Structure 1
């Protein structure tokens, strides 16, 4: 059975390596979406590679035992400094939210101050998937209001900056758990190279609000695997359920990491324990979602006219089959032209018609373009938010806003760094197929690469956006960091 597990694992690594190598080559050579020139991408790749080489050199000079003793202090200092930088940048980049972010932000404020969010019932009738993120902000704003805080945007910046900082810390803990303290520091270095995170504090939408939870869930899973005490195992399992529930309520794509973890669990630990890892988080989520939805539809969006606005999931699949999968007002008009009980079937039929029109070659080309859109923008399309009536005019805006005169330079440089992460992750997968390095947690580390494949599969089927990959960038950083682990260890 062990041989079968190894074969299945290495097959998944091969698929991962081929898929992301194919995407990377398309970004480098034939990207008609962003119109990059190779020479524009090289500075980011080279800069990132030089920084990584310097950090590796410095880490080789550090005594491992001494670093282990002082690791928590280093992590604490990093957290404080990084969070301060994020908060400061967040206040500089304040803006007036619009569209989806306005709905969850202003809806949460109205709920906090008036006891309802009636101005946004229609929006949430159409998009109930965003109710969880509004509820999350409502809880945060409610707590802040108890201390007479009225600047809720500032609260959003601080909380979002703390979540981003917590994500960086959790990535380092994951890498330390799998390898050692030096690689934990290396992961922080790679996180610092991802420039959009510096500017993300003010953009507290679902992409960043859910950023922490996939990698946190994976860290708790690693702790669970490493723990023999049954009571502590149950504690880790409960926290896994809580983190997955919070993440999935904010952005449902967090479920992908659960799928990846469960596959890893069935490969490497007893099946009964693996089954618990699947069922307990789903139970947490199911109960929470049921209670929350019951409360919303009983006490707030109780009018049937709002409940009949719901957009079916097939709408986004249908929309993802046209014009490289971008947002389409015409498709929304099409979906809403049908009665609620007919919408899903109508969208499914149109999706099947589009697949028939595309054919195999057309569908593959579409999926390629969608993958390039979703995984080929090193800015994570953050300007979707930051250019909504900025409160300040700064030199930074000339780089990070779509209309900024230096935006192309920033986008190309950031995408070069992103390509470096892909290249590292690909090389690490190939190396692990050969089996040259053994990690602390298991013979092979499966879940991060499976999670990357999972979000890839989802996004080539769904609506296309450069933002939707954001909450899985931390898992990519884990994959890239594992490649730089050079010390062989016996398991």
Structure 2
């Protein structure tokens, strides 16, 4: 098949994906509205969604389109961050909890290793059962051992402060990525929109693997932008290695990070040439090579006696099985069921039998109902499960906790607000999908944002299959909000008749010749 034929197939697949993406998140919106407890709740959520949609659009217009006297410079951004940091610090300490559940197991082990000046893990059963938490344990232990040199022993406060720093670093990197694409004003808007997201505050006392990968997620995004822009081969090689290593670090903290690398592989295949494809291949080699080196180093360290691995480790089928019980989250009965079998293979066989049985029992209509409940449980919670986590073993009390915890006196009002924000973002995801279709149909371009859409859609599909809850969206929030901003830009640029996101100029992100018909460039940089 000739190049024109291949390009035509790519274009068709690109359009089909964006149709699917837009339909999916439109469907998600209707599902989360449908699953409200009463018609009154549905009306309230529609009103809340409409209000926050208008508020977000007004904020964008005020910063980007109006002739406001709002100064856009480093000083302004610094002041915004300083204010947000103070809010984070105050509320983070007011919402302190004693670490429990998985978070507590890792915290307790890290503290024990620090106090005992040891590197030999004592809670062998837990870390063999859930090896995904081993790297986070190393990270937290290294932090606490470093702080112990300075005789700092308030481990919970240190964890919260570290979480704040990592969260804010991730927002700085996000600003840099947005600035590279759309200019300084859009970077400030992205920052302010992120400030509206409750997770950047309510997850601060929960310094766990939901937030620790955030800087790595945004680093991956920024590196991918730089790779698509760069032409120097030596620099491309270095950026490719850095990208693979960043994915490795993120993957060891939260396995879903690897979805971003898969999205990059698909995206570069569709829109770029051989050189960029080779760079992503280098990233893949760096990723797998880093995993091999890390696994070898960890096993050689003898931190963990893995002779009982076959007895305690849970197979991947366990989480698929749990995901098939409504509403799709953690289930203690499934936990005990898998635990009851003596070997990993026996656990796997029992899980597979349960998976087949549950699918057969549900049938087609039952499966649709189950998936609807699971989507609502995952995407319909604007507090991202923090309302439940902040209720467990609180170390402080006060009005703030009464607002943000599930059984707090003012939680119902808070829930309407945060869900309204979340549902508005979901609608903007759907609009961004339409933007991708518009760009290929009217301008003949495959856009950069399709990489981020692929990542978000990959997460959506994965969480349909896996055990799920809304907290699993937290480390993907920068990507979700990035796509939402693209939806906002499409609304305004189409209204004003601007040729959306494809105007070429000497300072564009991606130069002609790097992709199909010259890879799409940034919108005209009137705000740079």
**Same fold at TM > 0.5:** yes
Quick one: which of 274, 284, 296 aligns to 2:287?
Answer: 284
Q: Partner of 2:319 in structure 1?
A: 316
Contact map agreement 1:55 1:186 (CA 8 A) in 2: yes
Q: Partner of 1:7 in structure 2?
A: 12
Contact map agreement 1:110 1:116 (CA 8 A) in 2: no
Contact map agreement 1:43 1:416 (CA 8 A) in 2: yes
Q: Partner of 1:84 in structure 2?
A: 86
Contact map agreement 1:248 1:255 (CA 8 A) in 2: yes
Residue 62 of structure 1, CA deviation:
5.3
Asked if 1:49 corresponds to 2:72, the answer is no
More deviation in 45-54 or 365-374?
45-54
C-alpha distance 254-282 of structure 1, shift in aligned 2 (>3 A): farther
More deviation in 75-84 or 208-217?
75-84
SS of 1:209 mapped into structure 2 = coil
Residue 428 of structure 1, CA deviation:
2.2
Contact map agreement 2:242 2:283 (CA 8 A) in 1: no
Contact map agreement 1:108 1:138 (CA 8 A) in 2: yes
Q: Which 5+ residue runs of structure 2 have no aligned equivalent?
A: 1-5, 505-520, 522-528
C-alpha distance 293-468 of structure 1, shift in aligned 2 (>3 A): farther
Quick one: which of 158, 161, 165 aligns to 2:164?
Answer: 161
2: CA distance, partners of 1:135 / 1:292: 13
Asked if 1:29 corresponds to 2:34, the answer is yes
Q: Partner of 2:457 in structure 1?
A: 453
2: CA distance, partners of 1:308 / 1:351: 21
Query: 1:184-199 counterparts in 2 under 5 A?
Result: 184-199=187-202
Q: Which 5+ residue runs of structure 1 have no aligned equivalent?
A: none
C-alpha distance 291-243 of structure 1, shift in aligned 2 (>3 A): closer
2: CA distance, partners of 1:442 / 1:232: 25
Quick one: which of 162, 176, 182 aligns to 2:179?
Answer: 176
2: CA distance, partners of 1:364 / 1:456: 15
Contact map agreement 1:370 1:464 (CA 8 A) in 2: yes
2: CA distance, partners of 1:129 / 1:2: 40
Residue 217 of structure 1, CA deviation:
0.6
Deviations 1:350-382 (A, max 9, x none): 212211222222222211211111111000011
C-alpha distance 106-297 of structure 1, shift in aligned 2 (>3 A): farther
Residue 90 of structure 1, CA deviation:
1.2
SS of 1:467 mapped into structure 2 = helix
Give me the TM-score of the superposition, normalised by structure 1.
0.91
Q: Partner of 1:130 in structure 2?
A: 133
Contact map agreement 1:264 1:447 (CA 8 A) in 2: yes
Residue 475 of structure 1, CA deviation:
0.8
Deviations 1:135-164 (A, max 9, x none): 121222222222222112122111111121
Q: Partner of 1:252 in structure 2?
A: 255
Query: 1:255-404 counterparts in 2 under 5 A?
Result: 255-271=258-274, 273-288=276-291, 290-292=293-295, 294-296=297-299, 299-302=302-305, 304-305=307-308, 308-340=311-343, 341-404=345-408
SS of 1:470 mapped into structure 2 = helix
Larger Rg: 2
More deviation in 422-431 or 398-407?
422-431
Residue 48 of structure 1, CA deviation:
4.7
C-alpha distance 400-41 of structure 1, shift in aligned 2 (>3 A): farther
1: CA distance, partners of 2:289 / 2:362: 37
2: CA distance, partners of 1:54 / 1:326: 35
Contact map agreement 1:86 1:200 (CA 8 A) in 2: no
Residue 271 of structure 1, CA deviation:
3.8
Residue 292 of structure 1, CA deviation:
4.2
C-alpha distance 45-203 of structure 1, shift in aligned 2 (>3 A): farther
Asked if 1:208 corresponds to 2:207, the answer is no
Query: 1:95-174 counterparts in 2 under 5 A?
Result: 95-114=97-116, 115-116=118-119, 118-174=121-177
C-alpha distance 290-231 of structure 1, shift in aligned 2 (>3 A): closer
Residue 51 of structure 1, CA deviation:
4.3
2: CA distance, partners of 1:138 / 1:298: 15
Q: Partner of 1:474 in structure 2?
A: 478
Q: Partner of 1:93 in structure 2?
A: 95
1: CA distance, partners of 2:381 / 2:38: 10
C-alpha distance 275-418 of structure 1, shift in aligned 2 (>3 A): same
Give me the TM-score of the superposition, normalised by structure 2.
0.85
2: CA distance, partners of 1:98 / 1:437: 51
2: CA distance, partners of 1:6 / 1:180: 28
> Cα RMSD over matched residues?
2.7
C-alpha distance 53-268 of structure 1, shift in aligned 2 (>3 A): same
Contact map agreement 1:397 1:404 (CA 8 A) in 2: yes
2: CA distance, partners of 1:307 / 1:328: 22
Residue 177 of structure 1, CA deviation:
2.2
Contact map agreement 2:129 2:312 (CA 8 A) in 1: yes
